Amino acid sequence: DAMVIQNPRYQVTQFGKPVTLSCSQTLNHNVMYWYQQKSSQAPKLLFHYYDKDFNNEADTPDNFQSRRPNTSFCFLDIRSPGLGDAAMYLCATSNLGGSRTYEQYFGPGTRLTVT
Protein backbone atom coordinates (compact mmCIF):
# COMPACT_ATOMS: atom_id res chain seq x y z
CA ASP A 1 0.00 0.00 0.00
CA ALA A 2 1.18 3.50 -0.80
CA MET A 3 2.07 5.31 2.36
CA VAL A 4 4.15 7.77 4.34
CA ILE A 5 6.73 6.16 6.60
CA GLN A 6 8.56 7.79 9.47
CA ASN A 7 11.58 6.42 11.28
CA PRO A 8 12.14 6.04 14.07
CA ARG A 9 8.76 6.13 15.81
CA TYR A 10 10.41 7.10 19.08
CA GLN A 11 13.67 8.99 19.39
CA VAL A 12 15.50 9.98 22.57
CA THR A 13 18.34 12.46 22.32
CA GLN A 14 20.42 14.43 24.75
CA PHE A 15 20.24 18.18 25.18
CA GLY A 16 22.39 19.74 22.46
CA LYS A 17 23.07 16.50 20.59
CA PRO A 18 22.12 16.69 16.89
CA VAL A 19 19.34 14.42 15.77
CA THR A 20 17.86 13.53 12.37
CA LEU A 21 14.35 12.29 11.74
CA SER A 22 13.48 10.66 8.45
CA CYS A 23 10.41 10.40 6.27
CA SER A 24 9.82 8.44 3.11
CA GLN A 25 6.81 8.14 0.83
CA THR A 26 5.65 5.73 -1.81
CA LEU A 27 2.87 8.03 -3.03
CA ASN A 28 5.13 9.91 -5.48
CA HIS A 29 3.72 13.19 -4.20
CA ASN A 30 5.50 16.40 -5.15
CA VAL A 31 5.10 18.18 -1.80
CA MET A 32 6.45 17.06 1.55
CA TYR A 33 5.82 18.81 4.87
CA TRP A 34 7.27 18.72 8.36
CA TYR A 35 5.09 19.63 11.34
CA GLN A 36 5.81 19.94 15.03
CA GLN A 37 2.98 19.01 17.38
CA LYS A 38 3.08 19.50 21.11
CA SER A 39 0.67 17.91 23.53
CA SER A 40 -2.99 18.89 22.99
CA GLN A 41 -2.07 21.39 20.29
CA ALA A 42 -2.61 21.58 16.55
CA PRO A 43 0.24 20.64 14.22
CA LYS A 44 2.51 23.59 13.50
CA LEU A 45 4.10 23.73 10.05
CA LEU A 46 7.89 24.03 10.14
CA PHE A 47 8.65 23.91 6.41
CA HIS A 48 7.72 22.22 3.18
CA TYR A 49 9.23 21.25 -0.13
CA TYR A 50 7.41 21.72 -3.40
CA ASP A 51 9.55 19.39 -5.50
CA LYS A 52 13.03 20.74 -4.71
CA ASP A 53 11.81 24.20 -3.79
CA PHE A 54 12.28 24.70 -0.04
CA ASN A 55 9.82 26.87 1.90
CA ASN A 56 10.59 27.82 5.46
CA GLU A 57 7.93 29.20 7.82
CA ALA A 58 8.87 32.60 9.22
CA ASP A 59 8.76 31.43 12.84
CA THR A 60 10.64 28.16 12.38
CA PRO A 61 13.74 28.29 14.61
CA ASP A 62 17.14 28.29 12.90
CA ASN A 63 17.90 25.17 14.90
CA PHE A 64 15.68 23.22 12.49
CA GLN A 65 16.80 22.32 9.00
CA SER A 66 15.54 20.00 6.31
CA ARG A 67 16.84 18.08 3.33
CA ARG A 68 15.03 16.44 0.47
CA PRO A 69 17.57 14.48 -1.57
CA ASN A 70 14.93 12.99 -3.88
CA THR A 71 11.16 12.77 -4.36
CA SER A 72 10.77 9.92 -1.88
CA PHE A 73 12.79 11.06 1.11
CA CYS A 74 12.82 14.06 3.39
CA PHE A 75 14.85 14.62 6.57
CA LEU A 76 14.43 16.90 9.55
CA ASP A 77 17.67 17.89 11.27
CA ILE A 78 17.64 19.47 14.71
CA ARG A 79 21.12 20.85 15.23
CA SER A 80 21.08 21.44 18.97
CA PRO A 81 17.90 20.12 20.56
CA GLY A 82 16.61 21.91 23.60
CA LEU A 83 14.06 20.70 26.12
CA GLY A 84 11.43 22.78 24.32
CA ASP A 85 11.92 20.77 21.15
CA ALA A 86 10.43 17.66 22.71
CA ALA A 87 7.34 16.98 20.63
CA MET A 88 5.74 14.78 18.01
CA TYR A 89 7.14 15.44 14.55
CA LEU A 90 4.80 14.68 11.69
CA CYS A 91 5.69 14.27 8.05
CA ALA A 92 3.01 14.70 5.42
CA THR A 93 2.74 14.68 1.65
CA SER A 94 0.44 16.25 -0.87
CA ASN A 95 0.05 15.95 -4.61
CA LEU A 96 -0.51 19.39 -6.06
CA GLY A 97 -1.95 18.54 -9.40
CA GLY A 98 -4.67 20.36 -11.27
CA SER A 99 -7.30 20.05 -8.56
CA ARG A 100 -5.24 21.87 -5.92
CA THR A 101 -7.20 20.48 -3.00
CA TYR A 102 -4.08 20.36 -0.78
CA GLU A 103 -5.30 17.16 0.90
CA GLN A 104 -2.43 15.82 2.96
CA TYR A 105 -1.35 12.31 3.85
CA PHE A 106 0.42 11.92 7.17
CA GLY A 107 2.95 9.49 8.52
CA PRO A 108 2.56 8.02 12.02
CA GLY A 109 4.94 10.57 13.53
CA THR A 110 8.18 10.44 15.50
CA ARG A 111 7.97 11.18 19.22
CA LEU A 112 11.13 13.06 20.22
CA THR A 113 12.26 13.13 23.84
CA VAL A 114 15.12 15.40 24.91
CA THR A 115 16.93 14.48 28.11
Partner 1 sequence: SQQGEEDPQALSIQEGENATMNCSYKTSINNLQWYRQNSGRGLVHLILIRSNEREKHSGRLRVTLDTSKKSSSLLITASRAADTASYFCATVPGGNKLVFGAGTILRVKS
Give contact residues for partner 1 (rule: CB under 8 A). Answer: 4, 6, 31, 33, 40-43, 45, 48, 50, 55, 88, 90, 92, 94, 96, 100-109, 111
For partner 1, the closer of residues 78 and 91 by Cβ is 91
For partner 1, the closer of residues 73 and 106 by Cβ is 106
> Closest approach of Cβ 80 to partner 1, in Å?
26
Looking at residue 18, the DSSP 8-state letter turns out to be: -
> Closest approach of Cβ 16 to partner 1, in Å?
26
Say whether 83 sits in a helix, a strand or coil. helix
For partner 1, the closer of residues 31 and 86 by Cβ is 31
Distances (CA, A) of 101 to 5, 96, 98: 22, 7, 9
CA angle 13, 65, 91 (to 5 degrees): 75
- Give CA–CA dist 33/49, Å, rounded: 7
